[in-house]
Each structure stands twice: as structure tokens, then as C-alpha cells.
Structure 1
Amino acid sequence: MARKAIAMVCAASALFGMAACGSSSADGEKKIRIGIKYDQPGLGFKKSGTFEGFDVDVARYVANQLGYTDAEIEFLEAPSKQREAMLQNGDVDMILATYSITDERKKAVSFAGPYFVAGQDLMVRADDHSINGPEDLNGKRLCSVTGSTSAKVVKERFAKEVQLMEQPGYAECATALFSGIVDAVTTDDIILAGLASASRGKLRVVGKPFTQEYYGVGIRKGDTAFAKQINAAIEDMIKSGEWERAIEKNTEGTDYQPDPTYNPPTPDEGE
């Protein structure tokens, strides 16, 4: 959809009380507020006052297609536990923060997308070839983030004898892995790929995903018009080749490849 047409839709949405396609600052400047993660290398990462990662690249592309320049985008930190409240309170217009589409979350918010399908995987030291999948974790030490269900999935489905260590964040898990305190880290494969890329070849993703997580763009509940606009922008990003280039750029130095069974996805959620 052309930017002019999208801008007209946004204006109409405002007139009829639909969820915002953006907002204005106190001085009347147009802007769009987007929630991202600040602490996930390769996905959403704040670095010296700038923002980078695959989620950030998708967010910028979508915002540009909606008629916003990069200067009119305001990125805000969206911690996992605060995402629904941020959308409900109108603190952000949309959220791209490894935000999996689930029926439970759709009770509170709506989604556009998906823009990526992740799968739970393992990350190990680059020179460790004893772990080639979750079934190899019996007797091993596995790290995941406190409150995450990832380690629980491994223990219940694959390796009952695995030793679990919880850390407050995946960066801490990566440090524990690099130093030999644990043997593997588990979470979504693209999160692991971002960490592996940042390790400069010291860590690697096993590459055998065993779940599917559909990453969506969180928006205020019931805004089907906004969902359609975002979906059209995601579809354009995929067709243009920018989606694939963003994956490659943000996982550079790894052998990571998105699961081709599910990627790139069809963005049809929320319409």
C-alpha cells in the first residue's frame, strides 16, 4: 500500500476512534512508538544510544511502510512482563519483542504477523560435539532464564537427568556456557543465533529446533485495520528480500538458518 494511502487510513482511523497508527508529541511532531527488547543481541539490542537487531529491522521497515521516517520512530523498552499493559495503556503503538502469539495473550491484546517462526533449540561451545540435540543432555548442565518454560520442556520431553541452572538473562547463560559452568543453553533458536554471533565464533547453535514459536506484532486489542496494514508491510519486506537480508545480517558469523518448513511465514494474524 502506498504511504499516502496508508496515511489516509490512519487519519480515518483517528476520526472514527480506532486504535492509533501513531501519535504526536507535545510540539505536534508525528511519531510512532514501538516496544522492543534492549538486551537481546541479534534481535533487540540497545547499543550506545542506538538500536539494532532483527526485531528492530522489521519494526523500522513496517514503520517506514506506514509513512514514518526513521527519525519519527521512538523505541521503548518492552520487558516481557509489561508488554500487555504497555499496549493496553497506550504507552506504545506496537511491540516487536520476540512476542509469541498465544491464545492466552490474545485475551488481552491483538497481533499482526507472524513475521518469524522460531523454534526452541540449544547453544553449545563451538568445539563441543557431544550434544547434537536435547536427547543428549542427560547428565549435562543446562542453563535457561528464570521463569522460562524452555528448560521445563527439555526435562519433561527429552532429558529427565539434566541439571538445570537458571540465570536472570540469556547473556548470563551465554557467559556461563563460555566459561564452562554449564554445557548448553536453551531458548528460541534466533535468540541463540544472536548470542552466538556476538560470541565471535566461540559458541554455536545446534540447529535442531523442536518447537515452534510464532513471533507477532503486538497491537491494541481488536484493531483489525492496523493489523492489515502491518501484515501488508511484512509481506512486502519478505517479497523484497529485505527480510532474508535482515536475518543474515543479524546472525552473521553463524551457520544459522531459519526452519524452512515455517519460514518465511504468512502474515495473516488479526485481520
Structure 2
Amino acid sequence: MRKNVVGRAAAAVVALGFLTSGCSDSEPAPESTVLHFGLQTDQPGLGYTDSQRHSGFEYDMATWLADHLGVQFAVVNVKPDQREEFIKSGAVDLMIGTYSKTDRRLDEVSFAAPYMLTQQGVMVLSNDTSVNQFEDLADGRTVCAARGTTSIEQLKERGVNVREETGDGACVNAMLSGGQDVRAVSTDKLILHGWANHDPHLKVVEPVAFGHQERYGIGLKKGDKALCEKITAALKQYLISGVWENHFRNNLGSDLSFQEHKPDPNRMDRCD
């Protein structure tokens, strides 16, 4: 076990050293270079694993990013409340998992951002007609959200009764089962659209959008400015290449407008 850990750490050092050494993207990386990317695996359309098959926008983006950087990658399943811990411990080299850049998180990790924009939304069972506006959530019903997300604090600030679960999938299962008094699920609206596309028993309450803008970024160890700038440059290329739009349509559907979700590639965040 110790040999595996040491070997993985050594490979990561070689890989990250290559990425920050100033080599061109077209120059081949060492053949054994494998980076560990943290991804969500219970978010259809964004990051989802079913019978060991990975899919979703973020998985496709991770695949593009690894190819662009000339490395291979392995997927590490990371729960929302584990993200900072996994980055700081080195369990993942890059965190790609609907990871909103916030001031609080910047105290612990760095971000290359943004690659996606969204806002908080609400999802209910498809036959539920009782929720048409945010105020309908304040009637005592329980709204589920994943622990360690920005959704929790934004719901509590607005006086909503919140049930915390380990991930969005657990929230969806709690609502579908009907046995835990969960009447709605709240998280980023894009995540909800992915679930609604995945399961016809679910629907997004379209008029409801609230809270601050969520700006998804790629998390990495705090203070690694060279790597942050390398990943930011790659994300800018991803946004202007046309691949971003293809990945969005393929994973989140052609009916969902991407204009409000795509960042301006000429206004990427600075790496501090």
C-alpha cells in the first residue's frame, strides 16, 4: 500500500513539474504521467458514473484538458464536503466537480476559473404543481441539499427548512422514495437540469432562480500560481475552440440555452 501511495505521489510530482516547466502543450509528457482528477459521479449531464462508465460535461472537459496538456488522468470520486480536504492532502491533483469559486474556499485552495456559470434552482417531482416560486418553499416543506455546497447556506439564509445529504444523488433518492419528507431538491440549476433529463419523474421549477452567480472553476493546491496559469490558459482555449458548446449540447441537451452559462474567455480570473 505504501509503495502505491509513494509511486502515485512521485508520478504526480513529475506530471505537475512537466506542466509548470514552460514546455509547450504539443510536447509529449512522460509516458507514465497520470494525474488524479476529482470529479462528482452522481450528477447526470455533468459528472456521472454508471457501471463504471463515466459521462457528463465535466468528464468530457477533463478528457479534453488531459489531451490538451499531454497527460493521462484517473477519476477520483469526491463528495462535495471532501473537496478542500482532497486537494490539500494531494489525493487529487485537480478538482473538477461543479466547484464554485468562493471567497471562503480561496482561503484554502486556488482556482483556475471560470469554465461555467449558473445559479441556484429548485427541482420537484414531475407531478408536483405546488411550487411555482421561491416563496412556496417556505411553507414548512423540507428541501434537500448536498453537504459542503453553497446551496446549504443560501437556503438557510432564506429561512428554508434544509435536510443535508452527502450528495445530490442522495437528495434525489430521498425525494423519490417519499419516505423522508423531502419535497424538493435545491442546488445549481444546471445540475438540476441534468437530473431532470435523466429521470422523467423529476422537473426543474423554471421560474425559480436565486442566490449569487455560481462560477465553476478547477481547484488546485493553494498558491500554485504556475499550475493555475497553465490550467487557466487551457480553459480559455477550451472556451474559444467550439468544443465547449459541443460538450454542453451533448450532455445537457440542445433545448437548454448555453449563452447564459458560458463565461467570456477574454475575462478569465487572474491567478494570485
Q: Please give the TM-score of this superposition, normalised by the length of structure 1.
A: 0.76
1:172 matches 2:170: yes
Corresponding position of 1:41: 44
Corresponding position of 1:79: 79
1:236 is displaced (CA, Å) by 2.0
Corresponding position of 1:268: 269
CA offset digits 1:236-267 (Å, max 9, x no partner): 222222222222222238x544571x633443
Aligned-partner residue type, residue 242 of structure 1: V
1:118 is displaced (CA, Å) by 2.3
Indicate conservation of the 8 Å contact 1:61/1:233, yes or no.
Answer: no
1:151, 1:83 → 2: CA distance? 16
| Cα distance change of structure 1 residues 12 and 81 upon mapping to structure 2, 3 Å threshold | closer
1:10 is displaced (CA, Å) by 5.3
Indicate conservation of the 8 Å contact 2:88/2:221, yes or no.
Answer: yes
2:59, 2:124 → 1: CA distance? 26
Indicate conservation of the 8 Å contact 1:205/1:256, yes or no.
Answer: no
Indicate conservation of the 8 Å contact 1:45/1:52, yes or no.
Answer: yes
Corresponding position of 1:107: 107
CA offset digits 1:196-240 (Å, max 9, x no partner): 1210x3212123321222111011222222222212222222222
1:166 is displaced (CA, Å) by 4.0
Corresponding position of 2:237: 236
Matched pairs, number:
246
The worse-fitting range, judged by mean Cα deviation, of 46-55 and 137-146 is 137-146
SS at match of 2:76: strand
2:236, 2:169 → 1: CA distance? 32
Aligned-partner residue type, residue 59 of structure 2: V
SS at match of 1:246: helix
Aligned-partner residue type, residue 233 of structure 1: A
Gaps of 5+ in 1: 1-8, 16-22
1:108 is displaced (CA, Å) by 2.2
Corresponding position of 1:5: none
| Cα distance change of structure 1 residues 146 and 92 upon mapping to structure 2, 3 Å threshold | closer
Match of 1:50 among 49, 53, 71: 53
Gaps of 5+ in 2: 1-15, 23-28
Aligned-partner residue type, residue 155 of structure 2: V
2:124, 2:69 → 1: CA distance? 40
Indicate conservation of the 8 Å contact 2:81/2:147, yes or no.
Answer: no
Indicate conservation of the 8 Å contact 1:134/1:154, yes or no.
Answer: no
| Cα distance change of structure 1 residues 46 and 153 upon mapping to structure 2, 3 Å threshold | same
Q: Quote the sequence identity (%).
A: 36
Corresponding position of 2:131: 131
Match of 1:31 among 26, 34, 50: 34
CA offset digits 1:75-97 (Å, max 9, x no partner): 11223333223323333221101
1:11 is displaced (CA, Å) by 3.6
**Structure 2 matches for 1:206-221, cutoff 5 A?**
206-207=205-206, 208-211=208-211, 212-221=213-222
Alignment RMSD, CA only? Answer: 3.1
1:65 matches 2:68: yes
SS at match of 1:119: strand
SS at match of 1:137: helix
2:95, 2:147 → 1: CA distance? 22
Corresponding position of 2:204: 205
1:145, 1:204 → 2: CA distance? 18
Indicate conservation of the 8 Å contact 2:80/2:148, yes or no.
Answer: no
2:107, 2:138 → 1: CA distance? 38
1:100 is displaced (CA, Å) by 1.6
Q: Please give the TM-score of this superposition, normalised by the length of structure 2.
A: 0.76
1:48 is displaced (CA, Å) by 2.0
1:142 matches 2:152: no
1:220, 1:146 → 2: CA distance? 22
CA offset digits 1:47-83 (Å, max 9, x no partner): 2223212221222222211123xxx211112233332
